[in-house]
Amino acid sequence: MKIGVVGRYGVKDGIAIYTKYLVEELNKIEIVRVFPLNNPDSNNIFSHLSIILNAIKNSDILHFQERLYGHLWKFSGILTPLIYLFLAIFRKPVITTIHERNWGRRNGVKAKFVRIYMAFIDFFVLSFSDLVIVHTKELKRNLGDKSNVIMIRHGTFEMPKLNKTESKSKLGFLGKYVIMNFGFLDSKKNYSLIIDSLDEINKKMDKEVLLVLAGGPRNERDRALFDWLYQKEKEGKLKIAGFIPEKEIPNWISSADLLVFPYSSVSESGALQIALSCRKPALVSDLGAFKELKEEYSCVELVSDREWELKIVKFLKDKKKQNFLVSRINEYLDKNSWQQSALKHIESYEGILKI
């Protein structure tokens, strides 16, 4: 079986990281070739179709790993439907992984427009994919629980166990509590919920609490957000680490006392998977994808928008709560390794080819 993986690969991108680790595991079982689409904002449809045609010719089954919901005039708005129509012509078995399907919280006319737009993309993806893979039950429900939609959880990572004190020493954080958000800087992350609470949090703790944003900008679209965050860094409110090279990720996350993920919307968070793989307690927004982890594994702590100050202080002071989360994280990691994810993917590929 020759598997052609089409989509993000080898670039600074969450989906590209996911694809890299999945492909590494799949290659231990079957022949996998990657056909990168690393310029998704290009309006050159012929460039995309040329890559996809090459994948069709050299694969028994195609697996799309791409950001499908985005700007109307870019790949995910106009080109996605055209590409799925193109695939239908060649009748090659197609599997699509939907990594993210949200545009944040919107109201009124914008909300109606987004729902129509998403339904438009949904139609093409669901109609012309033999199988659609999602990472959460919530997303499966949002897609109408279609018979060709299955859930395979995001794989977890093998990370070395590092000493927190040594990691803090290397990064200059000794003598401080470190609360960290890991991942790209993004407008869907409600940094203000924590930044605006830092003064009160510090008043209640016995030493300084430092907020570290361990990531850099994904693109320049959120320029106003970046400028605001960099100004807060100048004011001493936080530290922005910038993009963290893969080899340095364990050291940065190990330096943290607590991981925080104050999202306004989420379908799945690869950054959270990496943080959990480093066995760090994490506070997360009370959103559907995170609620599933809480309900099934109790490996994260849910926080409402009004509770961030209270929960951060409580967890920094309570080692028992931290240790409980870590114990539950270990169970979660054992049941959701990349190896297990790859085996489920192979089973899915074989099922499609037998139909």
Mean pLDDT to the nearest integer, 155-163: 92
Mean pLDDT to the nearest integer, 113-134: 89
- Give the whole-number percent of the chain exceeding pLDDT 70: 92
Which pLDDT score, from 0 to 100, does residue 72 have? 46
Which pLDDT score, from 0 to 100, does residue 98 have? 92
pLDDT band, residue 75 (cuts 50/70/90): low
Task: Look at the chain and count its residues.
Answer: 355
Q: What separation in angstroms does the CA of 13 have from each of 39, 40, 271?
A: 12, 12, 11
- For residue 75, what are the contacts with CB-CB under 8 A and spacing of at least 6? 37, 40, 41, 42, 48, 66, 67
Mean pLDDT to the nearest integer, 204-212: 96
Whole-angstrom distance, CA of residue 1 vs CA of residue 217: 38
Q: Which domains does the chain have, with CATH numbers?
A: 2-155+337-354 (3.40.50.2000), 164-335 (3.40.50.2000)
Mean pLDDT to the nearest integer, 284-306: 95
Contact (CB, 8 A) for 273 and 297:
no
Mean pLDDT to the nearest integer, 223-250: 91
Which pLDDT score, from 0 to 100, does residue 64 have? 92
Region of poorest pLDDT, from 73-82, 94-103, 215-224, 295-304: 73-82
pTM of the entire predicted model: 0.88
Average pLDDT, the chain: 89
Burial letters for 51-69: b for 16+ Cβ neighbours within 10 Å, e otherwise? bbeebbeebebbbbbbbbb
- For the stretch 308-333, pLDDT in tens is 999 999 999 999 999 999 999 999 99
pLDDT band, residue 91 (cuts 50/70/90): confident
Which pLDDT score, from 0 to 100, does residue 192 have? 94
Task: Give phi and psi for 285, each to the nearest 5.
Answer: -65, 150
Which pLDDT score, from 0 to 100, does residue 79 have? 74
